Amino acid sequence: MDIRHLMKVDDFFNTASKYISFAAINPLRSAVIEKEFFRNKKDPHFIYSPTNPKLNRLKELIRDIKVDDSPLGDLLFDKRDDLINKINMIQNRGNNKEFTKNIVKIYGKPDKKLVNKAYEILTTTERKKEKKLISSAKAILLFRQAVNDFKCNWNVEKRDQPATADADHITKTLFIKNNARFSVHFVKRLIIHEVGTHILCAENGLLQPYKIFYYGTANYLKSEEGLAVFNEDKFGVLYTNALRNYACRVIAADSILKNSFIETFNKLKIYLPDKAAFRLTLSAKRGAGDTSEPGGCTKGMVYLKGYLELKELEQKGADLSWLYYGKIAHEYLDIYPKLPGLIKPKYKIENLKVLKPKSSELKKII
């Protein structure tokens, strides 16, 4: 098949990806849901924004795409299925069974080994109290300095959101949760995670001749989140509380496949404060309608699962440096060397000056 055809498919998938937003699975009125939950302790019912009617036509166009069995063709073939699964996921919000079926196709579900590892982490570590000295406004200054260290054109802004931080590579904006307070340890870890991994991979991917390195191969998120945790560990900022949080996300992903919102919340509050347990349960139950029934989103498991898989690959001698070429999955490590024209990563995590002990910016803010 002509390489020009594959490059057109790559370009089309890049455009299509912009219309398939994972944020669409977030239930409306999450702040109200939280208040009502702690008032009556009942399983909430989720409602969602209207589904874009153009997604059906987009799905048809994607399904009709043909590719060959070349290295690039293999990546595009799997991405075609990934995009279809994500559209089906959005279209089935509120339908517990169908939504969960599609989310499992995208992110998988925790196996017994992973669940046991999560419980091992939670039973052999203790949650530590941290002094939250840094406001959102001060944290943003540190994140902006970190972005400046890479000399890349990203904005850092605050907004009201459930997540502490969210790197949106489409708008090239790192959003920080408004009116929050963070510990010094937390901010250091988040800089490694968000700037040193997510933004770094996006910017390196943007330089590649194939756009799939920027909008992401199939299953890239498990590898990228795993790489972020791997980097936290490598640079000494994978603190106990963060590791416990990743373990709790696995427990939540496992629980929602069999249990209600309340039952999942009760499992998590053994290991987390009530509000933190609620928010992880809310995240894991996204996509469901009737949360008294099983079903939801298993995405939260990818942090610990990806991290453990990369650790295993490292022990086997795999070259993980390929993962810095873009937003790509480690399942294709044998394919990347076969793609002509790839550019070595320009942005490197070691360039983050803001975290170094002599950083004037870090001292000034802390």
Domain match, 172 and 227 both = no
pTM of the model: 0.93
Parent domain of 156:
130-204
Residues 193, 214, single domain; the answer is no
37-91, pLDDT tens digit by residue?
999 999 999 999 999 999 999 999 999 999 999 999 999 999 999 999 999 999 9
Give residue for tokens 């509380």: 241
Domain final position from 204, 225, 248: 204
Residue 187 lies in a domain: yes
- Position 244 scores a pLDDT of 97
Residue 354 lies in a domain: no
Asked if residue 159 and residue 244 are part of one domain, the reply reads: no
Instruction: Write down the pLDDT at residue 158.
Output: 86
- Are residue 150 and residue 114 in the same domain, yes or no? no
- Give pLDDT, residue 167: 86
Inside any domain, residue 366: no
Q: How far apart are the first and last CA of the chain?
A: 57
**The pLDDT value given to residue 177:** 87
In angstroms, rounded to a whole number, what is the distance separating the alpha carbons of residues 146 and 142? 6
Within a domain: residue 325?
yes
Phi, psi of 181 (to 5 degrees): -130, 145
| CA dist., res. 351 & res. 125, Å (int) | 32
Residues 252 and 165 in one domain: no
Whether residue 142 sits in one domain with residue 279? no
**162 and 59: one domain?**
no
pLDDT in tens, the chain (366 residues): 689 999 999 999 999 999 998 889 999 998 899 999 999 999 999 999 999 999 999 999 999 999 999 999 999 999 999 999 999 999 999 999 999 999 999 999 999 999 999 999 999 999 988 888 888 889 899 899 999 888 888 999 988 777 788 888 888 998 988 888 888 888 999 999 999 999 999 999 999 999 999 999 999 999 999 999 999 999 999 999 999 999 999 999 999 999 999 999 999 999 999 999 999 999 999 999 999 999 999 999 999 999 999 999 999 999 999 999 999 999 999 999 999 999 999 999 988 887 765 555 545 544
How would you classify the pairing of strands 134-135 and 173-177? unpaired
Q: How far is CA 305 from the centre of its chain?
A: 12
Same domain, 299 and 180: no
**Do 195 and 227 belong together in one domain?**
no
How many Cα neighbours within 13 Å face the side chain of 350? 2
Q: Is residue 291 situated within a structural domain?
A: yes
In a shared domain, residues 219 and 331: yes
For 178, the token pair is: 């408004």
Q: Looking at residue 136, what is its pLDDT?
A: 87
Residue 350 lies in a domain: no
Give the length of the chain. 366
| pLDDT at residue 357, rounded to an integer | 54
**Can you give the pLDDT at residue 356?**
64
**Structure tokens given for 64:** 């009709």
We report the CATH number of the domain holding residue 173 as 3.30.2010.10
Q: What is residue 135's three-state secondary structure?
A: strand
Are both 239 and 313 inside the same structural domain? Answer: yes
In a domain, 364, yes or no: no
Q: How many domains does the chain have?
A: 2
Single residue among 204, 232, 258 that ends a domain in this structure: 204
Same domain? 230 vs 341: yes
Q: Is 359 a domain residue?
A: no
Segment 233-278, tens digit of pLDDT: 999 999 999 999 999 999 999 999 999 999 999 999 999 999 999 9
Q: How far is CA 104 from the centre of its chain?
A: 15
Residue at a domain's end among 182, 204, 226: 204
